[in-house]
Amino acid sequence: MQELRGAFNQMIDEVERLKSIVEGSVGKDVDDDELLTVPELASKLRVPESWVYAQTRRQDVNRIPHLRIGKYRRFRLDEVLAWLDRRAV
């Protein structure tokens, strides 16, 4: 009976550990160094994805800072926020 109680307590501890891992990963804010996709950036800025794509196609110095990885565009949130601050009227 004592062995069964010990095994049960170990299982409870493991479930609690896994629960804390899952809860810690849900709803995390984005790291400044994490690369965002177009939909993620559009959601954070509350603009349409088409606006983000249009800003990447600009040919002037005011183009949104981004990286191209093959056909994919990625963004660093801190760079985009600094870019927006420079453009503020």
Domain limits, the chain:
35-87
Q: Which stretches within 26-74 are classed as H helix? A: 38-45, 49-57
Identify the band that residue 2 occupies on the pLDDT scale cut at 50, 70 and 90: confident
Q: Tell me what the mean pLDDT of segment 79-84 comes to.
A: 95
| pTM over 0.75, yes/no | no
How far apart CA 76 and CA 27 sit, in angstroms, is 18
Given the DSSP bridges, would you call strands 35-36 and 72-76 parallel, antiparallel or unpaired? antiparallel
pLDDT score at 1: 78
How far apart CA 68 and CA 35 sit, in angstroms, is 11
Tokens coding 61: 């110095």
Q: Is the dihedral of CA 58, 79, 67, 26 positive or negative?
A: negative
